[in-house]
């Protein structure tokens, strides 16, 4: 059973007691991320995420790691464009310790200047790693060219210039402005006691004050721009992402888009996987994904293929968009996708971490945890006609934004030239 409590200052607590397991997943969520950063603070949410592991007045960074490892738990965090999450998973008997460590990190981090200097170097290396991995870089580039000028088009990781510029006061100021009670959700799933967690959270978080509305800029819908960006790298494959406008996380159309995603490229039986990989052998990786935020979204196609075949892959993707817009999906495809969606949800419920993540995201996005049955009812209500209407809106203009990383599409790579000389 999912239980929910809201403290007088607005901090929310959602838990789900699963009595037949022996572990608990805990998360402290903050409904802020890269979309809340100014140009000068680009990447600060991600830097704060790193720094919360670097010590408090009562624990060093080493002690934080040691205390979790000693009880066989694991602790981690992530930053996205709309939220940040600090999470831990432990055996049920160690919930008090896990709560204490997470809370200490969240409320009492020291932001030592020397530690910050070292961690900024770590993040600069992380940026270099991202830039060296074309299958990561291309997705950031696609968002930037698709939504130029909008905060959702900016990278979570920041830039070398902004990351290098941060000092401890920048981090403290951002936390004061953004880590406010109305943005904080504590979620937990597993063999737990709801009342005990609420009592602990109230004792530690109950005195927090402030509101994100005092600082946050108003939401604005990102305007899709069908632009193109190409980054040349001396690698074997063209890594490409191309896409069209999608839907907001708050729109019920996201359920129809989930079906469309599955039919086009979301599984091994999908049209593009079968056509591009299985029938033609043009790519190892090919697929689709829907990226939805509260303010808007996009629907993207991705693939990695040789320079000589990149244009053919692009043409095949465009042709399938035309085909599905004109001819729609079959009842068989629709039912198969619904079954896959249901299977994913049900199997996800077998993981305490997945349950905790779902509750945290739901609370931040919708102000409540959506019941599984409600989600399934909306998925089951999607019709062939719904998919046809959505496809018409998404693909009618046949205008795509595109990002590519690697050799220029249509070019011959150095290795290809060597093979041709050998054959001659």
Catalytic amino acids?
Answer: 49
Question: In terms of Cα–Cα distance, which of 275, 307, 285 is closest to 406?
Answer: 307
Residues present in the chain in total: 424
What 3-state DSSP class applies to 91?
strand
Residues 209-243, buried b or exposed e (16+ Cβ, 10 A)?
ebebeeebeeeeebebbbeebbeebeeebbbbbbb
Strand order in the sheet with 184-190: 2-6, 12-17, 184-190, 23-30, 84-91, 74-79
What 3-state DSSP class applies to 37?
coil
CA distance to 35, 93, 174, 215, 269, per residue, from 401 (Å): 21, 51, 33, 32, 26
What DSSP designation does 129 have? Answer: H
Question: Pairing mode, if any, of strands 401-406 and 228-232?
Answer: parallel
H or E, element range at 173? helix 168-178
Angle at 254 between CA 253 and CA 260, to 5 degrees: 95
Residue whose tokens read 């464009």 = 81
Rounded Cα gap, residues 272 and 279, in angstroms: 10
Query: Which residues are CB-contacts of 419 (< 8 A; sequence separation ≥ 6)?
Result: none
């Amino acid at each position: 059973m999912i239980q929910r409590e809201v403290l007088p200052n607005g901090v929310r607590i959602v838990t789900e007691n699963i009595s037949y397991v022996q572990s608990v997943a805990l998360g402290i969520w903050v409904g802020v991320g890269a979309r809340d950063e100014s140009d000068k603070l680009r990447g600060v949410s991600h830097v704060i995420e790193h720094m919360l592991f670097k010590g408090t007045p009562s624990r060093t960074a080493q002690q934080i790691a040691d205390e979790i490892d000693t009880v066989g738990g694991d602790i981690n965090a992530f930053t996205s464009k709309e939220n940040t999450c600090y999470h831990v998973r432990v055996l049920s008997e160690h919930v008090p310790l896990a709560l204490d460590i997470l809370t200490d990190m969240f409320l009492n981090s020291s932001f030592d200047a020397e530690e910050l200097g070292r961690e900024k170097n770590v993040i600069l290396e992380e940026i270099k790693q991202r830039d060296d991995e074309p299958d990561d870089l291309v997705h950031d580039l696609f968002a930037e060219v698709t939504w130029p000028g909008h905060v959702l088009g900016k990278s979570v990781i920041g830039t070398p210039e902004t990351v290098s510029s941060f000092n401890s006061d920048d981090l403290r100021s951002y936390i004061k402005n953004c880590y406010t009670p109305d943005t904080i959700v504590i979620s937990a799933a597993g063999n737990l006691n709801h009342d005990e967690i609420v009592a602990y959270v109230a004792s530690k978080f109950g005195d927090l004050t402030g509101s994100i509305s005092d600082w946050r800029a108003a939401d604005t819908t990102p305007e899709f721009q069908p632009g193109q960006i190409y980054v040349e790298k001396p690698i074997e494959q063209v890594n490409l992402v191309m896409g069209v406008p999608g839907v907001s996380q708050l729109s019920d159309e996201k359920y129809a888009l989930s079906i469309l995603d599955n039919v086009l490229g979301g599984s091994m039986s999908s049209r593009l996987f079968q056509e591009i990989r299985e029938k033609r052998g043009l790519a190892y990786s090919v697929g689709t994904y829907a990226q939805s935020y509260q303010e808007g979204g996009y629907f993207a196609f991705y693939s990695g293929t040789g320079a000589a075949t990149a244009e053919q892959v692009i043409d095949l993707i465009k042709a399938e968009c035309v085909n599905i817009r004109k001819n729609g999906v079959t009842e068989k495809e629709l039912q198969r996708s619904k079954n896959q969606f249901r299977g994913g949800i049900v199997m996800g419920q077998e993981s305490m971490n997945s349950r905790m993540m779902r509750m945290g995201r739901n609370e931040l996005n919708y102000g409540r945890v959506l019941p599984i049955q409600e989600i399934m009812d909306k998925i089951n209500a999607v019709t062939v006609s719904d998919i046809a209407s959505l496809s018409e809106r998404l693909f009618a203009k046949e205008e795509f934004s595109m990002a590519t990383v690697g050799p220029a599409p249509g070019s011959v790579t150095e290795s290809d030239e060597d093979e041709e000389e050998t054959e001659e």
